[in-house]
Amino acid sequence: MAIFLQLLFTGLGIGAIYALVALGFVLLIRAASVVNFAQGQFAMVGAYMLVVCLNVLGLPYLLSMAISVVLMAVFGVIFAGATYWPLRHRGGLPVIISTIGASIFLENIVLFLYGPSPEVLPGLFDSPGIQVGQVFMDSQYLSILVAATLLVVLQYFIFEKTLLGKKLQATSQDKEMASLLGIPVAAMILFTFSYSAMLGGIAGMLVAPVLFVSVGMGGLIALKAFAANIIGGYGSIPGAILGGLALGVAETMGAAYISVPYKDAFAFAMLLMFLAVRPQGLFGEKISEKA
């Protein structure tokens, strides 16, 4: 039982990481119908910004995070301008490819600027964690779980309770209609990119103390996060969160009770299973053909 609980805690911690990255995916899917294959690299770029602020400039932790988040917001707009804007009328595929190009670019430009050796970042807390009964709770996993919860609440608040949120929703549902209603659709989409980059960056900063900071840190996480997205229901916010958590737990349990070397296969096998049996995911709407 102790082992099971320990695995459950870790699974949730890992799952929260997937969920955070998946959240960034969902927003872009909803607002701009963009599948952003560079979402993992957002996390990587965010983590490196924190490394620069903290280890190179020697700023305090929270200030460093704040600066990095602001920089990520700007980065998101630049990213949108380069990869999405020129291709926005050409359908989904060209944008997918250009974000793949962007992911290669980002990894290698950071590799060039910062060098290949991985960096260490301290956690938010000095204590490595707390022992609860027979379960050791890593303080950084706890931070990630708390941050994920806060961000989901914040997102809910923004989307459901503010005028900005209403405009964003209108944009994601019907761009033509939104623009007829006087909503600045372009600005809404840029805002979404910006926000999505911030989310990705925050995810990167939070996982950095656990996974270290390296140019490759985002790649596999992003693939899992995307899988979480589909498992949860394509384009669904609660789906992304639950899909991420479910994936984290399934993967950890699968590794513990079935096979460690095939650990990464569980996520993808689970995804294939969902696509075969329930393609709309946990929370998605039923997929039907359009006439």
Task: Give the Å distances, CA to CA, from 274 to 220, 229, 230, 243, 281.
Answer: 20, 11, 8, 11, 7
Please report how close the Cβ of residue 75 comes to other proteins at its closest, in angstroms: 15
Number of continuous H segments (helices) and E segments (strands) in the chain:
11, 2
Of 19 and 167, nearer to other proteins (C-beta) is: 19
Please report how close the Cβ of residue 121 comes to other proteins at its closest, in angstroms: 11
Cβ distance 253 to 7 under 8 Å?
A: yes
Residue 253 CA, distance from chain mean position: 22
Q: Which two tokens stand for residue 280?
A: 């709309």
Please report how close the Cβ of residue 78 comes to other proteins at its closest, in angstroms: 12
Please report how close the Cβ of residue 117 comes to other proteins at its closest, in angstroms: 5
Cβ distance 242 to 232 under 8 Å?
A: yes
Of 110 and 188, nearer to other proteins (C-beta) is: 110
**Which DSSP letter does residue 119 get?**
B
End-to-end Cα distance, the chain: 53
Cβ distance 35 to 12 under 8 Å?
A: no
| Of 203, 147, 216, 165, residue with least CA distance to 18 | 203
Between CA 41 and CA 48 the distance in angstroms is: 10
Of 67 and 119, nearer to other proteins (C-beta) is: 119
Of 117 and 176, nearer to other proteins (C-beta) is: 117
Please report how close the Cβ of residue 70 comes to other proteins at its closest, in angstroms: 24
| Of 201, 221, 208, residue with least CA distance to 151 | 201
Cβ distance 211 to 93 under 8 Å?
A: no
Please report how close the Cβ of residue 153 comes to other proteins at its closest, in angstroms: 25
Of 167 and 270, nearer to other proteins (C-beta) is: 270
Of 167 and 172, nearer to other proteins (C-beta) is: 172
Cβ distance 96 to 35 under 8 Å?
A: yes
Please report how close the Cβ of residue 136 comes to other proteins at its closest, in angstroms: 5
Of 142 and 167, nearer to other proteins (C-beta) is: 142
